[in-house]
Structure 1
Amino acid sequence: MYTFIAGIVLLIVGYFTYGKFVEKVFGVKEQRQTPAYTHSDGVDYLPMNAKKNSLIQLLNIAGVGPIFGPIMGALYGPVAFIWIVVGCIFAGAVHDYLTGMISIRNRGAHLPELAGKFLGKSMKHVVNVFAILLLLLVGTVFVTSPATLLHNLMDGAVGLGVILGCIFVYYILATFLPIDKVIGRFYPVFGALLLISAVGVGIMLIVTGAPIPELTLANLHPAQAPIFPLLFLTISCGALSGFHATQTPIISRTTQSERHGRKIFYGMMIAEGIIAMIWAAAAMSLFRGPVGLNELLASGGPAAVVSEASTLLLGAIGGTLAVLGVIVLPITSGDTAFRSARMILADYFNVGQKKIMNRLWIALPLFALSFALTKIDFTLLWRYFSWANQSTAVIALWVGAMYLFIAKRNYWIAMIPGIFMTMATMTYILNAGIGFGLPLNVSYVVAAVITAGITVAFYFAAYRARHRETPLEIEAKHWELAS
Structure 2
Amino acid sequence: MFTFFGALFILLLGYLFYSKFVEKVFVVNDNTPTPAYAKRDNLDFVPMSWWKGNLIQLLNIAGLGPIYGAVAGALYGPVAFIWIVVGSIFAGAVHDYFSGMMSLRHNGAQFPSLVGKYLGKHVKTFINLLSLVLMILVAAAFTAGPAQLIAQITPLSFTLALLIIFGYFILATILPINRVIGKIYPILGAILLIMAISVAVALIISGKSMPNLTIANLHPGDLPVWPLLMVTISCGAISGFHCTQSPIIARTMKKETDGRKIFYGAMIIEGVIALIWAAAGMTFFNGTDGLQAALVAGGPSGVVNEISTSLLGITGGILAVFGVIILPITTGDTALRSSRMILSDILAKFFNMDSKVKILLVTIPVSIPALFLATIDYTFLWRYVGWTNQVVASIMLWTGAMYLLKSHKFHWICGVPALFMSAVVCTYIFYAPEGLGLSYQLSIAIGFSLTVIVAFWYVYQIKKFRSEKHIKYKDKVA
Pairwise TM-score range, normalised by the shorter structure: over 0.9
Deviation at 1:456, TM superposition (A): 1.9
Partner residue, 1:182:
180
Question: Given the superposition, is the C-alpha separation of residues 307 and 433 from structure 1 closer, same or farther in structure 2, using an over 3 Å criterion?
Answer: same
Query: What is the number of residues matched between the two proteins?
Result: 471
Deviation at 1:269, TM superposition (A): 0.3
Q: Deviations over 1:145-186 (max 9, x none)?
A: 22334445x2x5433223222211111111111111111111
Q: Deviations over 1:30-80 (max 9, x none)?
A: 111111111111111111111111111111101211010001011111111
Partner Cα distance (1:353, 1:135) in 2: 20
Partner residue, 1:476:
none
Question: Given the superposition, is the C-alpha separation of residues 471 and 407 from structure 1 closer, same or farther in structure 2, using an over 3 Å criterion?
Answer: farther
Paired amino acid for 2:165: I
Partner residue, 1:77:
77
Deviation at 1:277, TM superposition (A): 0.8
Partner Cα distance (1:27, 1:6) in 2: 31
Q: Deviations over 1:259-308 (max 9, x none)?
A: 00000000000000111011111111112322221122112210001111
Cα RMSD (Å): 1.8
Question: Given the superposition, is the C-alpha separation of residues 462 and 149 from structure 1 closer, same or farther in structure 2, using an over 3 Å criterion?
Answer: farther
Q: Deviations over 1:3-47 (max 9, x none)?
A: 111111211121001111111111111111111111111111111
Q: Deviations over 1:301-335 (max 9, x none)?
A: 10001111100110023331343145332111111
Deviation at 1:470, TM superposition (A): 9.4
- After the TM superposition, which residues 172-211 of structure 1 pair with which residues of structure 2 at under 5 Å, given as runs? 172-211=170-209
Question: Given the superposition, is the C-alpha separation of residues 313 and 335 from structure 1 closer, same or farther in structure 2, using an over 3 Å criterion?
Answer: same
Q: Does 1:312 align with 2:310?
A: yes
Partner residue, 1:419:
419
Q: Deviations over 1:415-451 (max 9, x none)?
A: 1111111101110101122222221111111111111
Paired amino acid for 1:349: L
Paired amino acid for 2:219: H
Deviation at 1:86, TM superposition (A): 0.8
Partner residue, 1:382:
382
Q: 2:231 aligns with which of 216, 228, 233?
A: 233
Partner Cα distance (2:466, 2:244) in 1: 27
Contact 2:63 2:331 in 1 (8 A): yes
Contact 1:41 1:354 in 2 (8 A): no
Question: Given the superposition, is the C-alpha separation of residues 467 and 355 from structure 1 closer, same or farther in structure 2, using an over 3 Å criterion?
Answer: farther
Q: Does 1:265 align with 2:266?
A: no
Partner Cα distance (1:209, 1:149) in 2: 31
Contact 2:147 2:162 in 1 (8 A): yes
Question: Given the superposition, is the C-alpha separation of residues 472 and 276 from structure 1 closer, same or farther in structure 2, using an over 3 Å criterion?
Answer: farther
Question: Given the superposition, is the C-alpha separation of residues 338 and 116 from structure 1 closer, same or farther in structure 2, using an over 3 Å criterion?
Answer: same
Contact 1:35 1:107 in 2 (8 A): yes
Question: Given the superposition, is the C-alpha separation of residues 159 and 412 from structure 1 closer, same or farther in structure 2, using an over 3 Å criterion?
Answer: same
Q: What SS does the aligned partner of 1:228 have?
A: helix
Partner Cα distance (1:472, 1:168) in 2: 54
Partner residue, 1:329:
327
Paired amino acid for 2:222: Q
Structure 2: tracts of 5 or more residues without a match: 474-478
Q: 1:287 aligns with which of 285, 288, 298?
A: 285
Q: 1:338 aligns with which of 333, 336, 348?
A: 336
Partner Cα distance (2:466, 2:165) in 1: 47
Partner Cα distance (1:428, 1:246) in 2: 22
Contact 1:35 1:254 in 2 (8 A): yes
Q: What SS does the aligned partner of 1:375 have?
A: coil
Q: Deviations over 1:322-362 (max 9, x none)?
A: 43145332111111100000000111121433311211111
Deviation at 1:389, TM superposition (A): 0.4
- After the TM superposition, which residues 48-127 of structure 1 pair with which residues of structure 2 at under 5 Å, given as runs? 48-127=48-127
Contact 1:194 1:326 in 2 (8 A): no
Contact 2:88 2:236 in 1 (8 A): yes
Contact 2:301 2:324 in 1 (8 A): no
Paired amino acid for 1:115: V
Contact 1:118 1:399 in 2 (8 A): yes
Contact 2:170 2:360 in 1 (8 A): no
Contact 1:60 1:333 in 2 (8 A): yes
Paired amino acid for 1:314: L
Q: What SS does the aligned partner of 1:258 have?
A: coil
Partner residue, 2:446:
446
Q: What SS does the aligned partner of 1:17 have?
A: helix
Partner Cα distance (1:298, 1:435) in 2: 23
Partner Cα distance (1:26, 1:472) in 2: 21
Greater Cα offset, 52-61 or 211-220: 211-220
Paired amino acid for 1:225: L
Q: Does 1:30 align with 2:27?
A: no
Percent identical: 50
Partner residue, 1:4:
4
Partner Cα distance (1:400, 1:142) in 2: 28
Greater Cα offset, 239-248 or 279-288: 279-288
State the TM-score, normalizing by the size of structure 1. 0.94
Partner Cα distance (1:39, 1:138) in 2: 29
Question: Given the superposition, is the C-alpha separation of residues 147 and 379 from structure 1 closer, same or farther in structure 2, using an over 3 Å criterion?
Answer: same
Paired amino acid for 1:315: G
Question: Given the superposition, is the C-alpha separation of residues 400 and 205 from structure 1 closer, same or farther in structure 2, using an over 3 Å criterion?
Answer: same
Partner Cα distance (1:167, 1:467) in 2: 54
Partner Cα distance (1:355, 1:107) in 2: 21
Question: Given the superposition, is the C-alpha separation of residues 29 and 336 from structure 1 closer, same or farther in structure 2, using an over 3 Å criterion?
Answer: same
Partner residue, 2:167:
169
Partner residue, 1:254:
252
Partner residue, 2:476:
none
Q: What SS does the aligned partner of 2:220 have?
A: coil
Partner Cα distance (1:209, 1:120) in 2: 55
Question: Given the superposition, is the C-alpha separation of residues 146 and 465 from structure 1 closer, same or farther in structure 2, using an over 3 Å criterion?
Answer: farther
Contact 1:310 1:323 in 2 (8 A): no
Partner Cα distance (1:323, 1:14) in 2: 32
Q: Does 1:433 align with 2:433?
A: yes
Partner Cα distance (1:223, 1:303) in 2: 23
Question: Given the superposition, is the C-alpha separation of residues 406 and 466 from structure 1 closer, same or farther in structure 2, using an over 3 Å criterion?
Answer: farther
Greater Cα offset, 100-109 or 454-463: 454-463
Contact 2:44 2:177 in 1 (8 A): yes
